[in-house]
Chains A and B, each alone.
Chain A
């Protein structure tokens, strides 16, 4: 038996012992009379996440995939995760505000604050998209419509992407990740572009979409 395997078994045994101590404590030491109430909240959380929250999030992802172009999907995902986290941690405050006799508990206007935060979040992401578009418009490279298929044009786009990365203005999902991504086979890109076409994505979005897609495949 190797040392690594022994360590793993030891760690696992420690885990089982710790878990067992927790179960023992919950039943014997806690003074909790109604352990089933704890059990209900334990299982309830899993059900709530696995069969309500997660399906909703994946369904939103599927809808976003159908109705938005690739550049926006990353931004929407960021809004969903950041905005969703802020909303989740605010739920107790939103539901309990004004109900405590002690007015120093939950003293803020949480509905307003959360609304402002979500609006700022959406505005930042939209402004960011505008900055990216503006930056693009300043680039000397001009791509004629209908020429995206050519391998040479793709390279121009990737080069521009690197400039943006150097300028610090680039969105994370649009950075060309590494050398390997740059050297991806041209025909593979062409196949993917063709696939993208079939999804009826607007023509103008195709080059960036292809780069992003390729990147996604490479990660």
Chain B
């Protein structure tokens, strides 16, 4: 494939040879920042898959679900959101470093090279998409016409696939970059073996030959400044948001989308009673808990309060990354299930007064049989506020907050 040399009038701005500094847009800078970004993406992907698997509502899962430590989900999801936020400066710095390659000439040298550039387009598009949608989701802002969860999930697979392909293609360049070896002459590593006339290569080769190119952008921005600033930016982003997940650092929480303890009874809320449309039904004095099993029964709130009560300190940890520990008090779920004659190790469907997608949840046997799982009636020493699920809600250890169903009205046995 032969591309004509672009006419001189076109070789201006970013298209001019030597427009970018060779020492900041090189393999070493790209591979150092890229390594940090790659690790961050893997953390996001793995923690994201954990969250996805925990939210599956179909029995049985192939995975044993952890109920201990009780902060398991709090940790993985807090890490997911914190790492995603930390990816913002990393991705900015990485894209800044490799930006000159956008203008490489000739644009493609072979079919393989064209496919490789296409895979980078997929990688960049996927990476930006994941960060943008994730950051908007934690602020509960949905200005798009697709459901967030499946889009974020499946684009993550696409992005990680493109990342693995990118690592395979760039392996020699990454190895050189991390070992601080120079790229072999003007030949661009892993780009199909043909010397490219891209800005990088041109500058690398001509830095000392063309004073104009060499002094195009001298100055105080060294690689140390770039990487140091990136590290400080990661630190700044993390420090000002991590307080929403790590309660002891809440005094630093200046930009977090939640503030721990900011909410009724010292706990934030994801969906209010008003949003869930249960304002009337939740305070209906005729409310009773129905348990549907081999020996079905109904209990009024007074009867529930008369049963043995247990207190557990468990975190409520949301998919949006925030979490906070709280004291929950109520009846052990497994006691309620045993009373209805549920077989040991049953799965349970929890049904709320709320209608729609969050109106019921499936609880796997690991949680249903755990003594720490409560049908909670009180929170931090007070009767549950209506926004926290009055008259009764589920609280189970190490579970996503979205499955801690509020305004519970009915428990059903799920046939194995």
Contact = CB atoms under 8 A, between A and B. Distances in A.
Given A8-B171, A38-B151, A216 B219 contact: yes
Interface in B141-195: 141, 144-147, 150-151, 153-169, 171
Nearest to A175: B224
Interface stretch (B56-64, B93-101, B400-408): B93-101
A27 to B, nearest CB: 9
Interface in B233-276: 233-234, 236-237, 240-241, 253-259, 262-263, 268-272, 274-275
A11 B171 CA distance: 10
Contact of B256 (A15, A74, A108, A209): A108
Interface string B208-226: 0001001101111111111
Main secondary structure of the interface of B (DSSP, over half): helix
B218 A25 contact: no
B219 A12 contact: no
Interface string B94-124: 0110010010000000000000000101101
A54 B263 CA distance: 40
Give the interface size bracket for A toward B.
Answer: 35 or more
A21 B263 contact: no
B229 interface: yes
A122 to B, nearest CB: 13
Contact of A20 (B128, B155, B161): B161
B223 A219 contact: yes
Contacts of B156: 22
A216 B218 contact: yes
A186 to B, nearest CB: 16
B144 A219 contact: no
A78 B96 CA distance: 14
A85 B233 contact: yes
Given A15-B162, A89-B88, A34 B225 contact: no
Contacts of B160: 18, 22
A195 B147 CA distance: 57
A167 to B, nearest CB: 18
A113 B40 CA distance: 26
A133 interface: no
Contacts of A106: 139-140, 257
Contact of A77 (B129, B215, B226, B256): B226
Contacts of A57: 96
A45 B150 contact: no
Contacts of B230: 81
Given A37-B144, A104-B263, A173-B220, A16 B241 contact: no
Interface in A105-149: 105-108, 110, 113-114, 116-117, 121
A96 B157 contact: no
A20 B164 CA distance: 12
B139 to A, nearest CB: 4
B255 A45 contact: no
Given A77-B225, A89-B135, A16 B154 contact: no
A75 B158 contact: no
A213 to B, nearest CB: 5
Contact of B165 (A12, A45, A209): A12
B86 to A, nearest CB: 9
B168 A15 contact: yes
A21 B151 contact: no
B92 interface: yes
A150 interface: no
Contacts of B146: 32, 34-35, 37-38, 41
Nearest to B320: A105
A46 B125 contact: yes
A80 B214 CA distance: 24
Interface string A77-94: 110011011101111110
Residue from B124, B129, B162, B219 having most chain A Cβ neighbours under 10 A? B219
B228 interface: yes
A199 B169 CA distance: 41
Contact of A15 (B89, B164, B226): B164
A117 B161 CA distance: 37
B370 interface: no
A106 B223 CA distance: 37
Interface in A172-209: 172-173, 175, 177, 192, 195-196, 199, 209
Given A34-B146, A71-B220, A107-B259, A92 B135 contact: yes
Given A18-B160, A19-B158, A54-B96, A72 B272 contact: no
A58 B14 CA distance: 9
Interface of B: 14, 21, 23, 85, 88-89, 92-93, 95-96, 99, 102, 119, 121-122, 124-126, 128-129, 132-133, 135-136, 138-141, 144-147, 150-151, 153-169, 171, 207, 211, 214-215, 217-226, 228-230, 232-234, 236-237, 240-241, 253-259, 262-263, 268-272, 274-275
Given A8-B168, A89-B135, 16 more contacts: A19-B119, A23-B154, A30-B154, A31-B147, A32-B150, A42-B155, A50-B99, A57-B96, A70-B219, A70-B220, A82-B232, A86-B240, A93-B255, A113-B240, A117-B240, A219-B223
27 contacts: A8-B169, A11-B171, A16-B165, A17-B161, A19-B162, A22-B154, A23-B154, A30-B153, A32-B147, A34-B145, A43-B125, A45-B128, A61-B221, A77-B220, A77-B226, A78-B228, A81-B93, A81-B232, A89-B85, A92-B136, A102-B269, A105-B268, A107-B259, A175-B224, A195-B215, A209-B219, A215-B222
Per CB-CB distance, the 7 closest pairs between chain A and chain B, nearest first, are: A19-B161, A22-B157, A15-B164, A15-B165, A18-B161, A45-B128, A22-B158
